[in-house]
Amino acid sequence: MSTTETHEFQAEVKQLLDIVIHSLYTEREIFLRELLSNAADALEKLRHLQVVEKEVFDADAPLEIAVRVDDKAHTITVTDAGIGMTREELIENLGTIAHSGSRSFLAELAEAAKKDVNLIGQFGVGFYAAFMVAKRVRVQSRSWRPDADGWEWSSDAAGSYTLSPCPGLHRGTKIILELKEEAKEYADAGRLREIVKKYSSFVPFPIKIDGETVNTVQALWTRSPQEIKDDEYNEFYKFIANAVDEPRYRLHFAADAPLAIKALLFVPRDNFERYGLGRLDPGVSLYCQRILIDQHSKTILPEWLRFVKGVIDSEDLPLNISRQALQDNALVAKINKIVTRRFLKFLTEQAKKDAEAYNDFFKTFGVFLKEGVVTDFTHREELAPLLRFESSRTKPGELTSLAEYCERMPDGQKEIYYISAPNREAAESGPYVETFKERDLEIIYTLDPIDDFVFSHLGEFQGKKLVSADRADLELPDTGKKKDDHTGAEGEGLSAAEASALIGWIKTVLGDRVKEVKESKRLVGSPAIVVNPDGFITSSMERIMRAAHTDTPPTSKKNLEINCRHPLIRGLAQAKEEDEPFARRIVEQILDNAMIQAGLAVDPRAMAQRNYAILEEAVRRRPAAEHAEPPGAKTKMETAAN
């Protein structure tokens, strides 16, 4: 009678195993780091269970990790006295991938793994690295729960695994690797000792290889910064962040009042949310007197700081606090506030000390600070000076702060101006910035879709309003640089009467597609522009909100401003007298063009048809203009094409 059950792996696990076995050849030694890190996690959890006074099975088993090597049978055994797994947990943890919701996950993993197998740990699938060296992996586990039974999980990675009862186990997990022929070199205690030194010296429990302890257990964050070497910090970072690179920033500090806090925080080099992994788990764990209370804590720092890795330890916390109770614990909230403030101050110092390095940080992680401005009212003010943008005064790719912008403001300028565009070129060639160029006023380019939301949440900076250049009521200060007031007095533009007749007619043509039609005071070289008459929604915000809710009715109506000195508009005034149907099409096309320049959607089919009709008219008229010179026609078409 056999009680062995066979289970299929989840499809994603099969694919993952395929990647692990067939495409990963280099640096296979990291399998040990992954197994030790899992063992350490299980021990940390157990230690915490013990302090919350739960009854645990095998209460006296020492909290350590034992590695045994059999160089005859070519096996490696990693044993821990951690929390262990029940039958259900074995199925859940070793048969499925938690991240599998993200569809691009495996593709990303395969890509990353090709570049650097070390990245596998970042993807939360470290256990499967065992199959890089083992032809069969057996996991014997006995949960801490007093009423649990022992089980053995076993697989050769060929699509399924088996489960069978395994009575008589101690608490915790024993992982037995039956090494592949070509990985037999790892059945060597000396080799394993080197690997532990290389990757796992910060595991906070004794690691014993064949009975001999090979690491020094220490909580780095409790030591004084003066006596810690850079190398130690970096190794510690690699250990807690499961990282391969070195951190770009490090902040190690201790406070005694109002709370006793020790914190060691790192900013990584890379932003892993870029890799299609979805939202990162928070990277900071909460300790109390060196005991892990909450790994990757969701409560100890604001959510937008999830890119920070590290440790926060406070002995003022009650040791036996449960994870659920952390959420509404006042002390935790206080620690959160203190550490966040300190971290923001640290970033401010870094920006002063080395602006280039800070800007590089901002390009990678600025998106999190912006998220903070939008979602976290309490830190909004402190975050604003840390933001960076391109502007008409920066070189492409260079960044400036709002404070620097304010310092450069000429007398008389009271507001901070910005315009959204998909990229710098679009911003610079669009109609919105021409009046700024002419007046020699600096304008910030908000090139990231979230930027306009950030500015609308901030509202102002240093008492100066943040104003989008697509607002209808834009009032720019007189810098004395503007050439004239564009009213058309020099005979270049339309007379006041002609302008108002044209505007009235355009409004009847466009009907309620626009709110108002006006003569523009701001345009220089462009014929027309759409601007937002009501309030704070910029065109960029509108585009994003509409993309998110496709059934949203077109939101605010725009004003169309026309440039009465522009040849196209002057020609239009004439065309409306001579050929109204044609002039109507021109007006509609002008509106569509202006909408497109604002980044807003138009009906592409109607627009293309109309455009063809206009082009047809243009080619039809051209020869007539050249040969017959009907009165008015030539000047009209030539100027319109300028």
Q: Which stretch binds Mg ion (CB under 5 A): 120-128, 143-151, 183-191, 536-544?
A: 120-128
Residue among 34 and 434 whose Cβ is closer to ligand ADP: 34
Q: Residue 493's binding partner, choosing from Mg ion, ligand ADP, none, with beta-carbon cut-off 5 to 8 A by kind?
A: none
CB of 633 within 8 A of CB of 621?
A: yes
Smallest distance from the beta carbon of 93 to ligand ADP, in angstroms?
3
CB of 128 within 8 A of CB of 13?
A: yes
Question: What tokens appear for 45 in the block?
Answer: 């959890």
Residue among 38 and 359 whose Cβ is closer to Mg ion: 38
Closest to 178 in 3D by CA, of 154, 196, 205:
154
Residue among 34 and 561 whose Cβ is closer to ligand ADP: 34
Smallest distance from the beta carbon of 50 to ligand ADP, in angstroms?
16
Smallest distance from the beta carbon of 200 to Mg ion, in angstroms?
12
Smallest distance from the beta carbon of 80 to Mg ion, in angstroms?
12
Q: Where are the beta strands (DSSP E) in 447-599?
A: 460-461, 464-468, 516-519, 528-531, 559-562
Q: Give the type of residue at 258.
A: P
Question: What tokens appear for 531 in the block?
Answer: 């601007």
150 binding Mg ion? (CB under 5 A): no
- For the beta carbon of residue 382, count every other beta carbon within 10 angstroms: 17
Residue among 116 and 448 whose Cβ is closer to ligand ADP: 116
CB of 505 within 8 A of CB of 548?
A: no
DSSP bridge partners of 165: 151
Smallest distance from the beta carbon of 9 to ligand ADP, in angstroms?
13
Q: Residue 302's binding partner, choosing from ligand ADP, Mg ion, none, with beta-carbon cut-off 5 to 8 A by kind?
A: none
Question: What tokens appear for 616 in the block?
Answer: 């047809």
126 binding Mg ion? (CB under 5 A): yes
Q: Rounded distance, CA 12 to CA 106, Å?
A: 8
CB of 173 within 8 A of CB of 79?
A: yes
Smallest distance from the beta carbon of 267 to ligand ADP, in angstroms?
21
DSSP bridge partners of 263: 253, 312
Residue among 84 and 126 whose Cβ is closer to Mg ion: 126
Q: Rounded distance, CA 77 to CA 141, Å?
A: 13
Q: Rounded distance, CA 218 to CA 215, Å?
A: 9
Q: Residue 295's binding partner, choosing from Mg ion, ligand ADP, none, with beta-carbon cut-off 5 to 8 A by kind?
A: none
Q: Residue 13's binding partner, choosing from ligand ADP, Mg ion, none, with beta-carbon cut-off 5 to 8 A by kind?
A: none
Residue among 94 and 514 whose Cβ is closer to ligand ADP: 94
Smallest distance from the beta carbon of 67 to Mg ion, in angstroms?
16
Task: Point out the residue whose Cβ comes nearest to Mg ion.
Answer: 126
Question: Distance between terminal CA atoms of the chain?
Answer: 92
Q: Rounded distance, CA 287 to CA 84, Å?
A: 22
CB of 33 within 8 A of CB of 121?
A: yes
Question: Which backbone phi and psi does 188 adopt, to 5 degrees?
Answer: -150, 115
Q: Which stretch binds Mg ion (CB under 5 A): 123-131, 364-372, 529-537, 574-582?
A: 123-131
Smallest distance from the beta carbon of 32 to Mg ion, in angstroms?
12
| Positions that interact with ligand ADP (CB under 6 A) | 34, 38-39, 42, 80, 82-85, 93-94, 124-127, 173
Q: Which stretch binds Mg ion (CB under 5 A): 119-127, 253-261, 592-600, 616-624?
A: 119-127
Among 38, 285, 314, 392, binds Mg ion (CB under 5 A): 38
Q: Which stretch binds Mg ion (CB under 5 A): 8-16, 124-132, 291-299, 586-594?
A: 124-132
Q: Rounded distance, CA 432 to CA 418, Å?
A: 10
| Contact residues: Mg ion, CB under 5 A | 38, 126
